[in-house]
Amino acid sequence: MDIKKIVKLSQGYSRDYRITKGKKFRLKDFDPDDTGDLKAEDKPRAKEALQIGVQALSEFQEKLYAQQRWGLLLIFQAMDAAGKDGAIKHVLSGINPQGCSVSSFKAPSTEDLNHDFLWRCQKRLPERGMFGIFNRSYYEEVLVVRVHPEFLHRQKLPPKLVTKSIWQERYRDIRNFESFQSRNGFVIRKFFLYVSKDEQKRRFMSRLDEPSKNWKFSAADATEREHWDEYMSAYQDMIRETATEEAPWYVVPADNKWYTHVIVAAAIIDALDSLGLAYPEIDADMRKQLQQARTALESS
Ligand code: ATP
Ligand code: MG
């Protein structure tokens, strides 16, 4: 399939889930079980489409890498068992590992807490020409930290700075940070993998039932479920406050993994296509050097 067709299809698939202006965003307008125009019996077709998408991503990546101008930051946020790891694994399976870095952000270390809340993520930003993937990110600072105020108290902030406005201030800091990154050539796309509470339960159950999945289960995940509504409200606020034209959120239905992967791949293809990537042009000087190298090689 030619790339123009893939791009057009990708735009069609991903458009409905892209949020660029958060003001009116309501999570309840989205359905975790949504599969768009596709039905369960279309799953094999969706898998084929994903393979084509993965190939297209790999071609885009090569150009991004060759050009060394733009960088791409992909942020994944979700409740446990929503499939962040699987989405990263499948969608980016065709990517050259040399052009890509993946960072997972878990509970912060003492050194992290001795700095501002963006510090540990800033250290892991991609270079020009690279894909940077954040499995969780500074967005935890307005999610888990908001749901559990005791984490905020551990952050060693001067008490005078911890006021009622702290979440609004963090949203503003994040917007400014992302707009700064965008103006410097770093393209940001953010994915909220939206799984339902019932589907999460099914996945936790299968982690308990299947020995090969036992290692994935953590008792803490089950207790976080008790805060489900608070998390959903924190996600909604986060998207309202930080969805922008330059750094949109995608609210990706996550109850059906095959559909999640198609949407994530489509959104990344759309982002990369918008950059007009091309291999660097060879100038006359370079052409001459190539010619000389050929002559030298032929006579060696
Ligand atoms: P998996 O469960 O698939 O291994 P994970 O990303 O859930 O992946 P865990 O080690 O289970 O990894 O969880 C990381 C935990 O760290 C999450 O509960 C997350 O909310 C928490 N975390 C991340 N950032 C922060 C932060 N800034 N402050 C407090 N907790 C955080
Ligand atoms: Mg976990």
| Ligand 1 proximity of 107 Cβ (cutoff 6 Å) | yes
Q: Is the CB of 106 under 6 A from ligand 1?
A: yes
Give the C-alpha separation, 254 to 30, whole Å.
11
CA distance 175 to 247: 9
Global pTM reads 0.96
> Beta partners for 219?
none
- Give the Å distance between the CA of 298 and the centre of ligand 1: 57
User: What ranges do the domains of the chain cover?
Assistant: 3-299
Q: What does the pLDDT read at residue 1?
A: 76
C-beta 173 within 6 A of ligand 1: no
Classify residue 169 by its DSSP letter: H
CA distances from 183 to 177, 179, 244 (A): 10, 6, 13
Given this model, what pLDDT does residue 295 score? 96
Cβ(141) – ligand 1 distance below 6 Å: yes
Determine contact, residues 266/60, Cβ cutoff 8 Å.
no
Ligand 2 centroid from CA 218, angstroms: 7
What pLDDT score was predicted for residue 160? 97
Residues 6+ apart with CB under 8 A from 127: 71
Residue 221 Cα distances to 80, 104, 121, 202, angstroms: 7, 17, 23, 13
Q: Please identify, by atom number, the ligand 1 atom nearest to the C-alpha of residue 138.
A: 27
pLDDT, tens digit, 9 for 90 and up, residues 87-130 = 999 999 999 999 999 999 999 999 999 999 999 999 999 999 99
Contact between 187 and 70 (Cβ < 8 Å): yes
E-assigned strand segments in the chain: 18-19, 71-78, 100-104, 131-135, 186-194, 249-253
Q: Is the CB of 237 within 6 Å of ligand 1?
A: no
Please tell me the residue having the least CA distance from ligand 1 atom 20. Answer: 144
Q: Is there a contact between 60 and 274 (Cβ–Cβ < 8 Å)?
A: no
User: What's the distance, CA 74 to chain centroid?
Assistant: 3
Q: Calculate how far, in angstroms, residue 178's C-alpha sits from the geometric centre of ligand 1.
A: 22
Q: Which CATH class is domain 3-299?
A: alpha beta
Mutate to test the pocket of ligand 1, among 88, 143, 144, 192 (most ligand atoms within 8 A of CB): 144
| Residue 191: CB atoms within 10 Å | 28
How many whole angstroms separate alpha carbon 8 and alpha carbon 143? Answer: 34
Residues in the chain, pLDDT under 70 = none
Which pLDDT belongs to residue 23? 87
Report the atom number in ligand 1 closest to the C-alpha of 224: 18
Angstrom distances, CA of residue 247 to CA of 129, 132, 291: 18, 14, 44
- Say how far apart CA 201 and CA 21 lie, in whole Å: 32
Q: How far is the CA of 217 from the centre of ligand 2 (A)?
A: 8
Nearest to 143 by CA among 91, 78, 96: 78
Pocket lining: 34 vs ligand 1, CB cutoff 6 Å: no
Sign of CA dihedral 33, 35, 38, 40: negative
From the CB of residue 127, how many other CB atoms can be counted at a distance below 10 Å? 11
CB 145 near ligand 1, within 6 Å: yes
Could you tell me how many residues make up the chain?
300
Task: Give which of 261, 256, 266, 259 is closest to 88, Cα–Cα.
Answer: 261
Bridge partners, 101 (sequence order): 132
Which of 76, 106, 153, 221, when mutated, tests ligand 1's pocket best, judged by the most ligand atoms within 8 Å of its CB? 106
Find the farthest-apart pair of alpha carbons in the chain and give their distance in angstroms, rounded.
Answer: 75
